[in-house]
Copies of this chain bind each other. A is one copy, B any other.
Amino acid sequence: MTVDERLRELGIELPAPMAPGGTYRPAARAGDLLFVSGQGPVLPDGGLVTGKVGPGGLDLDTARGAARLTGLQVLAVLRAELGDLDRVGQVVKTLGMVNTAPGFTATPAVVDGCSDLFVEVLGEAGRGARSAVGVAALPFDIAVEVEAVVLVR
């Protein structure tokens, strides 16, 4: 089964990749490695999921949903760069950054929203090394940002 077939089976339609909001590329290649710029949670209507995650802000389920939306953007960038998601040999490394409110530390459970999507869509090739941490601020106050390094085949 190709990845496109699996996406159809899962009922997932990839969004258009968001244009870079600054002086950078969506992704850059070095040999077999493709480095994907930090992506954010874009809603189907083009809006962004914004705000702090934790006490007084977004709850865990909402944040995990935002991480899943962020993962869709990463996949959209990969497809645009590679033409075909079957060329993803391995998601090597992701860095998930959560816009945390004071007291919130369940950052791995949030970023699993993205990582679970990668495994659903790409199988074990979607499970890579990862860090999932809380940061003080993200662009446009988005709730989650994920960057990735991918091995291309």
Contacts and interface: CB of A to CB of B under 8 A. Distances in A.
A147 to B, nearest CB: 5
Interface in A7-41: 20-33, 35-38
A118 B97 CA distance: 25
Q: How many copies does the complex hold?
A: 3
Contact of A92 (B35, B133, B138, B147): B35
Q: Most chain-B Cβ atoms within 10 A of its Cβ — which of A97, A116, A134, A140?
A: A134
Given A24-B128, A30-B90, A30-B149, 9 more contacts: A22-B108, A24-B130, A33-B92, A37-B129, A37-B131, A102-B136, A104-B137, A105-B139, A106-B139
25 contacts: A21-B108, A22-B115, A23-B112, A23-B116, A23-B118, A24-B94, A24-B127, A24-B129, A25-B127, A28-B129, A33-B33, A35-B93, A97-B131, A97-B133, A100-B137, A102-B136, A105-B141, A107-B139, A131-B145, A132-B139, A133-B139, A133-B145, A134-B138, A135-B135, A136-B136
